Amino acid sequence: MQTPASAPVPPALRRRVPRVADLAPLMQFKQPEFGAAARLQRANTIWDLRDLAKRRTPAAPFDYTDGAAEAEISLHRARQAFLDIEFRPGILRNVESVSTVTPILGRDSALPFGIAPTGFTRMMQSEGEYAGSRAAEAADIPYTLSTMGTASIEDVAQAAPDGRNWFQLYLWTDRDRSMELIARAAAAGNDTLMVTVDTAVAGARLRDVRNGMTIPPALTLKTVADASYRPAWWFNFLTHEPLSFASLSRYSGTVADLINSMFDPTLTFEDLDWLRSVWKGNLVVKGIQTLEDARKAVDHGADGIVLSNHGGRQLDRAPVPLHLLPRVAAELKGKTAIILDTGIMSGGDIVAAVALGADFTLIGRAYLYGLMAGGRKGVDRTIEILGTQTARTMQLLGVNRIADLTPDHVRLLGEAPAAADLPNAATTR
């Protein structure tokens, strides 16, 4: 119904000259903030941290982190799987208080995620593993040092003496050297050994090939030009101790050559039996990509499994861990710790994984984006962003505890809806 033309105009809609007193509350200019701390605080998502990282890091180390194998299909599919999640919230629940505390392998973690093992980490930013382990210690979450990490087992233990430090092992052809690493990890207080089993040979990481990626980075004309607008990275890189590794002497060559020269393509499940006999702590197998192999890993003594395709960095078109998760959880939940990585870029992703049956998750690239964006403070910001997103997603779903998350809270788009969501045929019109 139209308002009659003769109807009076409400006072709020009458034109008038603005008064100074009315303008004063609107004229509040925020003082601009500059510097690394301000940049990190303005980052509200992991993607924001990635943008910062790309601006501050030379192409070769950034692409080593950001890239994947061949056409990078595995990585894109893993991230798309999380985008294809539909949450199913419960309403009218009291969610004033939420706990993100998560039990994993015999101890509590303050959050349902830990830091995954990453190689060559001080190449991304000079603080490297020291930033990651200390940030994890402060947040009370696990930190995993890689065999290919650029800080020793002992140095990480000293840097984060009160942290929950895990060690990731690549089994070498030289079993004596593997045994030496295992003994060092135990002596340094690591309670969990995570053996990675998806690197029989190096994946074809084409960004590294195109960038001429070497360890350490070579000062070619291309890298010098790249450094000209990223001087802080090069200053930090050149004024700190040269890259060295957690488990091997200094090496010069390509990443693929290093992997192919070290790792054993003859590994079998019997090697897990040997590891189980020599390692007395938690034994976790990382790189599980089928239900059959998940079963076998548990049968051979694994206390935990990581559903992972190595961040898409090994076999392209590999299984998507999130898609595999429900089948593994249906059979093995409660029999072994089920951990998931690959593709996680938000707290919502973490909540979705836990709801579908994961006991825990690991972040790799997300942590490295924060590291490259701002060193230790950038890693702190990564953990803060993911923790905040996790808690908020739980509240919006209507749950108070991690243990309250169930498959009823999520649906993978493209799947048939649950029976409870279907209309009653007798009442449908």
Parallel, antiparallel, or unpaired: how do β-strands 165-169 and 192-196 relate?
parallel
Percentage, residues of the chain above pLDDT 70? 84
For residue range 93-108, what is the model confidence (pLDDT) as tens digits?
A: 999 999 999 999 999 9
- d(CA 144, CA 192) in angstroms, rounded, equals 9
Tokens of 423: 């209309």
Q: What is the pLDDT of residue 33?
A: 65
For residue range 235-256, what is the model confidence (pLDDT) as tens digits?
A: 777 777 776 666 655 445 555 5
Closest CA to 121 of 288, 381, 414, 365: 365
For residue range 116-157, what is the model confidence (pLDDT) as tens digits?
A: 999 889 988 889 999 999 999 999 999 999 998 999 999 999
| 200-214 mean pLDDT | 75
- d(CA 150, CA 128) in angstroms, rounded, equals 7
pLDDT reading at 6 higher than 80: no
Active-site residue, from 76, 240, 300, 310: 310
Q: What is the pLDDT of residue 177?
A: 81
For residue range 259-280, what is the model confidence (pLDDT) as tens digits?
A: 666 667 788 888 899 999 999 9
Q: What is the pLDDT of residue 429?
A: 35
Contacts of 301 (CB under 8 A, 6+ apart): 272, 273, 275, 276, 283
Whether 327 contacts 293, CB under 8 Å: no
Contacts of 277 (CB under 8 A, 6+ apart): none
pLDDT reading at 423 higher than 70: no
φ, ψ dihedrals at 366, nearest 5°? -55, -40
- d(CA 138, CA 384) in angstroms, rounded, equals 11
Q: Phi/psi class of residue 263: alpha, beta or left (left: φ > 0; alpha: ψ in -120 to 50)?
A: beta
The dihedral formed by the CA atoms of 210, 321, 323 and 355, expressed in degrees to the nearest 10: -130
Q: Which residues pair with 282 in a beta bridge?
A: 192
Long-range contacts of residues 176-179, Cβ cutoff 8 Å, at least 24 apart: 177/247, 179/278
The answer to which of 195-209, 270-284, 313-327, 368-382 has the lowest mean pLDDT is: 195-209
Q: What is the pLDDT of residue 210?
A: 80
CA 258 to centroid of chain Cα atoms = 24
For residue range 162-173, what is the model confidence (pLDDT) as tens digits?
A: 999 999 998 877
pTM of the model: 0.87
Q: Is 310 a catalytic residue?
A: yes
Tokens of 45: 């998502």
Cis previous bond, 216, omega within 30:
yes
- d(CA 258, CA 215) in angstroms, rounded, equals 9
| 32-43 mean pLDDT | 80
